[in-house]
Chains A and B, each alone.
Chain A
Amino acid sequence: MKPGRLYRVACLAFGAALIASGAAMAKDEPKRGGILKFVVPDEPPSFDGHKETTFALIHPIAPFYSVLIRVDPDNPASLTDFVCDLCTEMPKPTDDGKTYTFKIRKDVKFHDGTPLTAKDVLASYQRIIFPPPGVSSGRKSQYPMVESVTSPDDETVVFKLKYPSGAFIPAVASPYNFIYSKAKLDKDQKWYESNVMGSGPFIFDKREAGARITGKRNPDYYRKGLPYLDGFEAIFAKKQSLRVQAIRGDQAAIEFRGFPPKSRDDLVKALGKDITVQESDWNCGLTLTPNHEKKPFDDPRVRRALTLALDRWGGSKDLSKIAIMKSVGGIVFPGHPLGMDKAELEKVAGYWPDIEKSRAEAKRLLKEAGVTHLKFTMLNRNVDQPYTIAGTWMIDQFKKIGIEASQRSEPGGQWFAGLRNGDFEVGITANCQSIVNPLLDVSTYLSSKRSSQQYGRFDDPDLDKIYDKMASSGDVAEQKKLMTQFQKRVLDEQAHNFQVMWWYRIVPYRSYVKGWKISPSHYLNQDLSGVWIDRDS
């Protein structure tokens, strides 16, 4: 069979599988029992959600914990819907948007039988936002707006803000914000690094170093009737081909992070109706970062020429066939109310609909800057999806305006070291976030003295001013206006950093897995309480 025909057959089968699964999902009644086996590409370094930043912690550990609020499990695709997990109702801000009062459920118990109260929520958030000396909090920097957290009684937690902020609620909904037992924390702030004891739908069973983590149903879970599964087994498997084969050979039912299009097509072709696929835009962006300290990238005209060379609209169609990249967008996640729509985006350099005009302008800018025969190397991560594939695509794009680019792919450690030390001309980086929270997410583009993740090594006080005004504004319309200004400055006027493309999440899984809904982040909606197994369907 010719590759083109093979692809069409795979697409048809995939479409049929999607439709079939959609129809099936509508009529399915949850069933109880069974062990869900899933593969995880990495092993979490520790068990402490407050400390770690990898999704490898979320997939096997999140089912053991409850959180204060979370994305709506019934509609995880929504970028703005947050619902209570431990609280009784989503609070309305008071005090001009500076106070949030959460009421905590009274029927929640930790897995050791002790009741969970507001004091536990308070202890957990104080550890996250104001960690005591010697304690690492991976997301402390996401709460610059919080002035204090208090708990006047066992049912109430109050967050007082320094200024009203639209970034607050999404930050509280971080899937890493596990609620820990105050009693355990009082005894040892690091107890949770090597122990698990939460109040979530599953109880920790065991960890086999490097191999798996298993959990069993929590019979006293406060959401009656849940979870459906008897337990789960998270199997660590580093190699992608093995994870695909594991699903094919039914050694695992799902991998929640996602696979490239080719693996989806292979699985659909091999398993037909036994495989279901869910897809979504992905809150991970691939960015190109010129090092402003290296000539000629200190010249905005040269940087602008680079972004003008990229045919994002055309590239999206081609790359989405082979890589986990698809969505074209600015630095705000596509579809978010604070982001730019297509019409606005098409006015920004690098997003013009006419690529020939764009490239002509790029050549003109290079000539004006006196840069002829530009040659540079991009520092990249030696991971195929999507880093090196995107790097190869960009080399071809740059060639079209006469730039001779190459890529130097390094292992994770060396890649980070190169970015941090400024040992690169142009860097290919990625920014993966859990909750879509543009007001916080774009802070990585601030001046280098304010953002440790800004590898371009530039300072732009005007950009910082726009950000500060936006972050402290309580008015959504004003925020949107300022965010557009911010994006134009980063992407176009100064061309500090370029969003190459957003990732695209493809999760093919065994059709007997029911009740799981994809979200725009592989960190979200992973407590597994609503997932069930139906091998008869």
Chain B
Amino acid sequence: MLQYVIKRLLLMIPTLFGAAVLVFFLMRAIPGDICYLRMAGGGGTVDLDVVKQCHIDLGLDRPLLVQFWEFVSGFAIGDFGKSMWTGQPIFDEVALRFQLSLQIAIMATLVSILIAIPLGTLSAVKQDTWVDYAVRTFSIAGIAMPSFWLGILIILGILIISKSWFGESWMPPITYRPLWVDPWYNLSMLIWPALATGYRYSAVATRMTRSAVLEVLREDYVRTARAKGVFETLVIRRHALRNALLPVITVIGIEFAFLIGGLVVTEQVFNLNGIGKLFVESVSNHDYNMTQSLVMLVVAIFALTNFLVDIFYAWLDPRIRFVR
């Protein structure tokens, strides 16, 4: 098992290096200049001397390879440098946003699991009945409906309902307070995006659970269990669901990693100061340092999540770790 873990860890290095090369050179291929954007963002006048000084301040006047080496060597020792846009350390800029994104990802994943596993199982057990059709319609609606659109509907719904019930429009807070500082405030802000996003992601997991359970229900050992007179709930829970969970875990794991940095539009809709919003802003501001760091962070999270899923697989199914 240890050998397997080390092998999987080593495989992460070329992945990270490849991502570093790609993001560094792709960012510089995008037309635009951070200094012009910053100095003439409002459409006003810009002094070319100021732009030149800005390039020197940001180190953009140095050869590309020097800039690349600085980025890669900094990343290797955990020094992400400073944001070109704000001049603040990237670690500080990301830290606040990361806790919010992580909380949303955890909450949305919980919502997704709470919806997907019971409904997917129910749908499989009640295959081709009205229950199955209802669950499938519910999950297809989740796939079809973008979570940001659902988010807008939720906000408008809250505004309208609160106005008609209480006479005053209420909307969720738009600034973040950590869970341990003000739990009620925190949850009243984050529950809505977690619901919107969790529902969206539950749709995929529901369908995956349904098909996996259906497949397992047709296995010989399930028929044997039933023939032995085991209660149906036990057959489902102990024999079918446990064995059907492997592909569902993969889907949920990948979705979790995606949720950390991928909630770009949902974060804008709910004004969540998360990693996704920072990502978009850093790309549109041509903040190379920030974009590179965020890409590497997300790649690292994906690689780590995949690694953990692989380890979990190997733990669940010992055959996997012995395959060469």
Which residues from chain A sit less than 8 Å from chain B, CB to CB? 39, 43, 45-46, 52-55, 134-138, 140-142, 193-194, 208-212, 233, 235-239, 241-242, 245-246, 248-252, 270-271, 284, 411-414, 416-418, 420, 429-433, 443-444, 451-453
Give the residue of A141, A284, A416, A418 whose beta carbon is less than 8 angstroms from that of B45.
A141
Would B40 and A413 count as touching, CB distance under 8 A? no
Would B31 and A417 count as touching, CB distance under 8 A? yes
- For B175, the chain A residues whose CB sits under 8 A away are 208, 211-212, 233, 235
- For A193, the chain B residues whose CB sits under 8 A away are 87
- Alpha-carbon separation in the docked complex, A473 to B284 (Å): 43
Would B50 and A136 count as touching, CB distance under 8 A? yes
Would B42 and A432 count as touching, CB distance under 8 A? yes
Q: Decide yes or no whether B33 CB sits under 8 A from chain A.
A: yes
Would B169 and A270 count as touching, CB distance under 8 A? yes
- Alpha-carbon separation in the docked complex, A337 to B54 (Å): 37
Give the residue of B32, B45, B278, B285 whose beta carbon is less than 8 angstroms from that of A452.
B45
- Alpha-carbon separation in the docked complex, A241 to B149 (Å): 12
What's the least CB distance linking A139 to chain B, in Å? 8
List of 5 A-B pairs having minimum Cβ-Cβ separation, nearest first: A413-B32, A249-B171, A430-B43, A417-B31, A432-B42
Give the residue of B50, B92, B172, B271 whose beta carbon is less than 8 angstroms from that of A138.
B50
Interface residues of B in 24-46 (CB under 8 A from A): 30-34, 36-46
Report the nearest A residue to B174, measured CB to CB.
Answer: A251
Would A413 and B37 count as touching, CB distance under 8 A? yes
Report the nearest B residue to A48, measured CB to CB.
Answer: B87
Q: Decide yes or no whether B268 CB sits under 8 A from chain A.
A: yes
What's the least CB distance linking B268 to chain A, in Å? 5
Given contacts A210-B277, A432-B43, contact A413 B93 (CB under 8 A): no
- Alpha-carbon separation in the docked complex, A250 to B176 (Å): 16
Would A416 and B37 count as touching, CB distance under 8 A? yes
What's the least CB distance linking A442 to chain B, in Å? 11
Q: Decide yes or no whether B168 CB sits under 8 A from chain A.
A: yes
- For A414, the chain B residues whose CB sits under 8 A away are 30-32
- Alpha-carbon separation in the docked complex, A55 to B36 (Å): 15
Would B86 and A252 count as touching, CB distance under 8 A? no
Q: Decide yes or no whether B57 CB sits under 8 A from chain A.
A: yes
- Alpha-carbon separation in the docked complex, A364 to B187 (Å): 67
Would A134 and B53 count as touching, CB distance under 8 A? yes
Of the candidates A54, A208, A416, the one having the most CB atoms from chain B within 10 angstroms of its own CB is A416
- For B173, the chain A residues whose CB sits under 8 A away are 251
Q: Decide yes or no whether B315 CB sits under 8 A from chain A.
A: no
Would A45 and B47 count as touching, CB distance under 8 A? no
Would B86 and A246 count as touching, CB distance under 8 A? no
Looking at chain A's contact residues, the main secondary structure is: mixed
27 contacts between A and B (CB under 8 A): A45-B87, A52-B38, A53-B41, A55-B42, A134-B57, A138-B47, A140-B47, A141-B45, A209-B97, A210-B93, A210-B96, A210-B277, A235-B174, A241-B152, A242-B174, A242-B271, A245-B171, A246-B171, A246-B271, A411-B284, A412-B32, A414-B30, A416-B40, A420-B33, A430-B42, A452-B47, A452-B48
Would B46 and A453 count as touching, CB distance under 8 A? yes
Given contacts A209-B93, A251-B173, contact A53 B31 (CB under 8 A): no
Give the residue of A136, A142, A209, A443 whose beta carbon is less than 8 angstroms from that of B54.
A136
Would B277 and A238 count as touching, CB distance under 8 A? yes
Would A194 and B38 count as touching, CB distance under 8 A? no
Interface residues of B in 145-194 (CB under 8 A from A): 152, 155-156, 158-159, 162-163, 168-176
Given contacts A431-B43, A432-B44, contact A137 B268 (CB under 8 A): no
- Alpha-carbon separation in the docked complex, A413 to B172 (Å): 33
Would B168 and A250 count as touching, CB distance under 8 A? yes
- For B278, the chain A residues whose CB sits under 8 A away are 210
Of the candidates A45, A142, A238, the one having the most CB atoms from chain B within 10 angstroms of its own CB is A45
Give the residue of B38, B45, B97, B155 whose beta carbon is less than 8 angstroms from that of A210.
B97
Would B42 and A54 count as touching, CB distance under 8 A? yes
Q: What 20 additional pairs, Cβ within 8 angstroms, besides A54-B38, A417-B36?
A: A43-B86, A45-B86, A52-B38, A53-B42, A54-B42, A134-B57, A136-B50, A193-B87, A208-B96, A210-B96, A238-B268, A242-B268, A242-B270, A246-B174, A249-B169, A249-B172, A251-B171, A284-B43, A413-B37, A413-B284
Given contacts A140-B47, A238-B268, A413-B286, contact A453 B171 (CB under 8 A): no
- Alpha-carbon separation in the docked complex, A459 to B158 (Å): 57
What's the least CB distance linking B120 to chain A, in Å? 34
- For B285, the chain A residues whose CB sits under 8 A away are 45, 413
Given contacts A53-B41, A194-B88, A246-B171, contact A210 B53 (CB under 8 A): no
- For B158, the chain A residues whose CB sits under 8 A away are 249
- Alpha-carbon separation in the docked complex, A217 to B40 (Å): 32
What's the least CB distance linking B159 to chain A, in Å? 6
- For B45, the chain A residues whose CB sits under 8 A away are 141-142, 443-444, 451-453
What's the least CB distance linking B57 to chain A, in Å? 7
- Alpha-carbon separation in the docked complex, A413 to B169 (Å): 38
- Alpha-carbon separation in the docked complex, A138 to B44 (Å): 10
- For A284, the chain B residues whose CB sits under 8 A away are 42-43
Give the residue of B36, B57, B269 whose beta carbon is less than 8 angstroms from that of A136.
B57
Would A420 and B36 count as touching, CB distance under 8 A? yes
Interface residues of B in 54-80 (CB under 8 A from A): 54, 56-57
Given contacts A249-B159, A413-B33, contact A53 B44 (CB under 8 A): yes
- For B281, the chain A residues whose CB sits under 8 A away are 43, 210, 238
Would A239 and B38 count as touching, CB distance under 8 A? no
- For B48, the chain A residues whose CB sits under 8 A away are 452
- For B32, the chain A residues whose CB sits under 8 A away are 411-414, 416-417
Give the residue of B44, B96, B172, B268 whose beta carbon is less than 8 angstroms from that of A211.
B96
- Alpha-carbon separation in the docked complex, A431 to B32 (Å): 19
